[in-house]
Each structure stands twice: as structure tokens, then as C-alpha cells.
Amino acid sequence: MSELPTELKRRFPLDLAEEEQPEPIELAPEGSVLEVIRARRARHAAEQHLDVLVPGHGDLLALRCRPLHAEEMGEIRKRIEALERTKNPMVDYTLAADLLITATREVIARKGLREPWEPIDPTGEPTGISTRLAELLHLDAPSARLCLRGLFEFAPSPEMAITSCVGEYLAWARGESADETDQLLMGES
């Protein structure tokens, strides 16, 4: 290979020779291929969440929801079947409430719209919809369902607001998004 003139060398430095290349940033993972795949799947699952805003709190309070597993959905279904046998008129609301309670990993809040989300518990511990959350917010709620209703009490119809949030959660859990829906409607992929 011929030498470049000095002026061109300054303007266009040559790449390093192959033996001078830096080490790759991502080193090969240790362990078996199966262990690597499992670790990546676990990381991916941990990152999956949906922040559902709680109406009436100025976008400062949200439920951080996670995907539900089949076993958890089966447990919810058993409770609903028991309610249906009692002819309880609140079956639909109870299903929505139980699903949202189970899916909520933690309740998060922020001080302003441009501030980052943080756990609502001052200790930093994740707090779901529970009597602990009711204590923190001074809600008179001896159960998770009453605590959830208390979170939504500023909505004109808390039950409808909760059901609406479940609809948003279900669309996310099914893998739907506004962009995907728009692309499907326009015939683009």
C-alpha cells in the first residue's frame, strides 16, 4: 500500500491495523448457551412494564404494571367464578379490580411532570396496592380492593376509571400499541 501525502494523513487518519484494534466492548458471556438465553429472557422480562396513570392526580401518580402469568390469571378466574355463583352484580368491576391489583408491581409517583418516577414509599421499597399503601396515603381501606378504589376516588366514576385502566393494561399485555394499530390500519408493516 502506498503512503498518503502528509496533508491527507492529517485530514484522513488511517484506521488502526488489525492487530492494534481495541478489545470488543461486549465480551462473550460465560456459561452454557442455555444459561445465556435464560439470563437474557430474565432481563427482558424484568424490563417489561406499563405505567398506568391514575386519574385525578395530575399525572403524578401511576401504577407500574407487569405481565401476568397464566397461573395468576387462573386464580383470578376462580375468584370470579365464585362471585358469579353468588349472583354478585359487581362481578365485572371485581374482575377489573383484581386484575389491576395483581398486575401492579408498585405504585410510583413524581413531584412534577418532568421529574422521574420513584417509589411512593419513602423507604424506596416497591409498594403494590395493599394496606401498606393505604397507610402511606392515609386511606381508610382495610383491603386491596378498597385501597384501589381510594386511589381512583377523584375520578367521577372510580369503578369506570379502574375498568378503563384495565383495558389499557390488556391492550399492552396483548402486545398492541397505537403505532402497531395505525400501521395495520394503513396496511403497512
pLDDT at 18: 47
Contacts with 5 (C-beta within 8 Å, 6 or more apart), sequence order: none
And the C-alpha cell for 56? 385525578
Distance CA 22, CA 2 (A): 25
pLDDT at 138: 95
Contacts with 31 (C-beta within 8 Å, 6 or more apart), sequence order: 39
Contacts with 169 (C-beta within 8 Å, 6 or more apart), sequence order: 50, 52, 65, 99, 100, 103
Distance CA 60, CA 103 (A): 19
What is the pTM for the complete model shown? 0.68
Contact at 8 Å (CB) between 63 and 161? no
Whether the pLDDT of residue 126 is over 80: the answer is: yes
Q: Taking residues 144-164, what's their average pLDDT?
A: 96
pLDDT at 28: 59
Q: Which comes out higher in pLDDT, residue 105 or 8?
A: 105
Distance CA 60, CA 137 (A): 14
User: For 105-159, what is the HEC assignment?
Assistant: EEEEECCCCCCCCEECCCCCCCCCCCHHHHHHHCCCCCCHHHHHHHHCCCCCCHH
Give the start-to-end residue ranges of the domains of the chain: 48-186
3-50 per-position pLDDT tens digit: 555 555 555 455 444 455 555 555 556 778 888 777 777 776 666 899
pLDDT at 183: 57
55 three-class SS: coil
Whether the pLDDT of residue 184 is over 70: the answer is: no
